[in-house]
Structure 1
């Protein structure tokens, strides 16, 4: 699109797209097709940040998923890198992302080795991905249980109107682009 629409001094398409996903996202068949195509097309301005926390809502990852994700992305012709401590090594993540941004061809797959609920006192618990566990933690007698109910009511109150403003704003932004000059 940039080859067709960009003009000198007006780079309309100069985006770098970031995707943050986990194991469940990469288990889907459509992710295989999309990632394979991205490697084939050399979408070098695409970076996937993969949350490798070894936990699913069913238990530890090895119970349902044994794929070698790094090898899979290398086979797709992606640049693959790993941040061993994704919870605290922000400098490592920034350094790896800076290196991936200068590549001329391949999309980047950066694996972040994370620990669920890091530094919370309950890190690594398998059920932290599940909503009942979150509700249990919120209602542990510390007075936070009421907050959960308040959020539910606020969500219900906002639902009917949540998309009206963005649609109107989008139409207002779109009209100058489609109006003939």
Structure 2
């Protein structure tokens, strides 16, 4: 669930953002209750869509808290770091704006046993390939694996090939299959 909240972080205090999140959370609790979930059945994570003033695109950043209220300084720092990871630069002198507040509720459910992964039809090992991972890592020789090899987590860089798609896993990321055979990438400490 989300709500527009256009404010420069420098112009608001943690209590302002907390009040906006509290109103949004009340709405989320109502939606979850209508779906039959009680508050202990799910967890809620807060996010903020941030941008530098005047930009047209935002990045979604998880909102850190300090003693229960949003930590705006940490939020701005994390935005700058993510902006640099995504776009290759950050603009510390520019004002950071919050455009949207988001809440995501996650319900822990019992899942069926993992289905066996199936090969894309290729029973042979593919040769490693050269892949470019941006200016930080440059071009690297990258192993190529089949989806079936993801039964245990694999650390990137790696290329996962299937008959109908290819998934590129950058350095510092892990890739594995979840219980429904979806490919899940998780960023490690880079």
Q: TM-score range by the shorter chain?
A: under 0.3
Q: Which has the higher strand share?
A: 2
TM-score, length-scaled by structure 2: 0.24
Q: Which has the higher helix share?
A: 1
TM-score, length-scaled by structure 1: 0.25
